[in-house]
Structure 1
Amino acid sequence: MKPTHKLLFILCPMLVLVFIYYSSEKLQLYVWGQKPLYDKQGFLLQLETKLPLELTYKYGNLSKGACKPGYAAAKMATIYPKFIKSAPMFLDRNFKRLAKISYYLPPFGIRTQERIIDSILTATKNYGLGEQLDSLSCKRCIIVGNGGILFNKSLGTRIDDYDVVIRLNEAPVKGYSRDVGTKTTLRITYPEGAIQNPENYEKDSLFVFSGFKPLDFKWFRQIVFKENVRGLDGFWKSVAHRVPREPTELRILNPFFIQEAAFQFIGLPFNNGLMGKGNIPTLGTVAITMALHNCDEVAVAGFGYDMSAPHAPLHYYENIKMSAIRESWTHDISKEKEFLRKLVRANVITDLTKGI
């Protein structure tokens, strides 16, 4: 047999085995007939609530109640090995170097919006949580959802105890502080979700813009530069005309978190990277995704849609019923809940209202 034939004779079976191995991994199958370890999204099928030995050693000696540095990311990586913590919370002047968002249109990226984003960031100048919070060696964050489950839970004091309190859209604090607290570090919203009455904004909080369509970025630029809001055709409801914040108190949420939550974590339809039916995660899940990358401990309150109770209140502050969420065109509530339950079962996040 010629040397070249011998080489091919050896290489061909090896290449076939390599192909089978990687194909089986992708399909969550195992060559030797073993049961799959991971689901199709890449999460462990058998979620372990106990800490691995290396994390037990790392956190075991901390005093009770002490903040655990890197805990959320470490726990996330144990159930989702592909998790990489490094992802900035907000866009800064280096945003064009973020490859994972450069190729996608809003809401999953920044393509076509680079010039307007650059203009906005020139005015806002600040790109973090603020000197005091950015300097913390360990940050405990809570995302306060808008769910009716928050009503009459008296969690206000416990919520205010967190270093970073994240609120969503127009959910009010005034009049509900016993249940939702008084502290707001940042409020994440999009144009249609923003508080419309300037008097209802809390003091000393950051306004964090999340853009879902090109028109949203145009709106935000007008807000940043305190211009008269124009060109309102294309919004599905009325939008705020003024946000009582200086440019230095405004931020742009990194759209990578929308992308990662939708396609990597939940498994929503990719739709060629475009917004489509049932492929947009709720802002609450986007905020949780952001916190996993930027907070050391992550808790939530006010999360969980109970579809078996259609007449239950959807939000803690209004009379809309749970049945309204069934008509959502953009969200896939069942898939999203499945993802959040993984995080709770594995103790990656703590659910104070136990609605997930």
Structure 2
Amino acid sequence: MSLYVWQDTLQYHLLEVLESHNCECQSCPKERNPERRAIIDASPAPFLSRGSAAPKEAYQWWKSLQHTPQDVDYFMKTVDRLFQIFPPSPDFFKPSPDNCRSCAVVGNSGNLLGSHYGPLIDFHKIVIRINKAPTEGYEEDVGTKTTHHVMYPESAVNLANTTHLVFFSFKMRDLEWLLRSFDPANNKGQSGRRGNKDLVMIINPAFMKYVNDMWIHKRGYYPSTGFMVLILSLVVCDEVSVFGFGPGSDGNWHHYYEKGNVVQRGTGPHSRTDEYNIIEDLHKKKTIRLYNGTNKPTNEKSNDKRP
């Protein structure tokens, strides 16, 4: 792609985002689909907070994911210990008529390679990255900005002191790992803190069950982390742009930072096809903007002036 073609493409994308800000969130894209709006509004609190309790049904579902043996009382005691370390309630940008919460959800698909989406991603107020998600060496395609980083123990990386850690737990040991990582008294040979303890946000198991039940309708064993993050963004953001989801240009599922690591569609505990079909439908209904590695968003028309 020539420099001039790239500059024109970047200007097109930035103009699209800027035009959406002219309304100052008075008419957010997700408001255009009443059916989806009702589902979004049905979300439980997405983050745990001090004193919050997971409904018994939600806990039993979460417990079954990795065959957690502990009961809900043990879960609540562990959560109480966590909130002796972390802030009592999660810190997220509050809605305001003067503050448009534009979010870029950045997945790890190989379709990011060669996309030149970096500047566009960094233009968003909130940039959410998932799991390993390196930026060094890939800045032109994935950007450099990270305000929120999603992880669980097996995908943990060290974060900058200004980056929010959005923690997904799939079993009790994950919460115990988080406790050990940030509590020196419980740190037995671990590498220690992964980020700023004042910026830790723990996903509510009830939210995970909500995504499983109301969005993918219990297809697959449980939703992928990336898909749950996308739905999270619909709940907490005003405008959502999605990058790095879906297969690469060769049709295979692989990460942009891994060579030859190909994941076939539909393998593992997640229903990749169903999830991606929902993502494409959200784009078609103009609830999100989906960038799939081509020069323009999928299904884009040259005269489209979407807010």
TM-score, normalised with respect to structure 1: 0.66
For residues 26-85 of structure 1, give each alpha carbon's deviation from its aligned partner in whole angstroms, at most 9, with x where no partner exists.
xxxxxxxxxxxxxxxxxxxxxxxxxxxxxxxxxxxx965434247254235344644416
Partner of 2:235: 293
Native 8 Å contact 2:121 2:127 kept in 1? yes
Pairing partner for 1:150 from 100, 112, 131: 112
Counterpart Cα distance in 2 of 1:163 and 1:250 = 19
Secondary structure (helix, strand or coil) at the match of 2:165 reads: strand
Partner of 2:256: 316
**Match status 1:260 vs 2:222:** no
Give the drift of 1:193. 1.1
Pairing partner for 1:173 from 122, 125, 135: 135
**Match status 1:134 vs 2:94:** yes
Give the drift of 1:257. 3.1
Inter-CA distance 327–192: structure 2 relative to 1 (3 Å threshold): farther
Counterpart Cα distance in 2 of 1:325 and 1:118 = 40
The 10-residue stretch of structure 1 (171-180 or 97-106) with the greater mean CA deviation from structure 2? 97-106
Native 8 Å contact 1:210 1:252 kept in 2? yes
Task: Give the counterpart letter for 2:202 in structure 1.
Answer: I
Report % sequence identity: 25
Native 8 Å contact 1:167 1:186 kept in 2? yes
Counterpart Cα distance in 2 of 1:176 and 1:290 = 25
Inter-CA distance 186–75: structure 2 relative to 1 (3 Å threshold): same
Give the count of matched residue pairs.
Answer: 269
Counterpart Cα distance in 2 of 1:309 and 1:97 = 39
Partner of 2:272: 333
The structure with higher relative contact order (CA 8 Å, sep 6+) is 2
Native 8 Å contact 1:223 1:229 kept in 2? no
Pairing partner for 2:187 from 214, 218, 228: 228
Native 8 Å contact 1:70 1:295 kept in 2? no
Give the drift of 1:253. 1.6
Native 8 Å contact 1:70 1:296 kept in 2? no
**Match status 1:246 vs 2:203:** no
Inter-CA distance 100–180: structure 2 relative to 1 (3 Å threshold): farther
Secondary structure (helix, strand or coil) at the match of 1:303 reads: coil
Secondary structure (helix, strand or coil) at the match of 2:268 reads: coil
Partner of 2:12: none
Inter-CA distance 97–171: structure 2 relative to 1 (3 Å threshold): closer
For residues 273-328 of structure 1, give each alpha carbon's deviation from its aligned partner in whole angstroms, at most 9, with x where no partner exists.
xxxxx322111110111111111111110011259734xx7111111433x24583
Native 8 Å contact 1:142 1:166 kept in 2? yes
TM-score, normalised with respect to structure 2: 0.76
Alignment gaps of 5+ in structure 2: 1-17, 299-307
Inter-CA distance 307–80: structure 2 relative to 1 (3 Å threshold): farther
Partner of 1:4: none
Give the drift of 1:242. 3.1
**Match status 1:96 vs 2:53:** yes
Give the drift of 1:263. 1.6
Cα RMSD (Å): 3.1
For residues 110-158 of structure 1, give each alpha carbon's deviation from its aligned partner in whole angstroms, at most 9, with x where no partner exists.
934111011101211253335xx33754211111000111111111111
Secondary structure (helix, strand or coil) at the match of 1:122 reads: coil
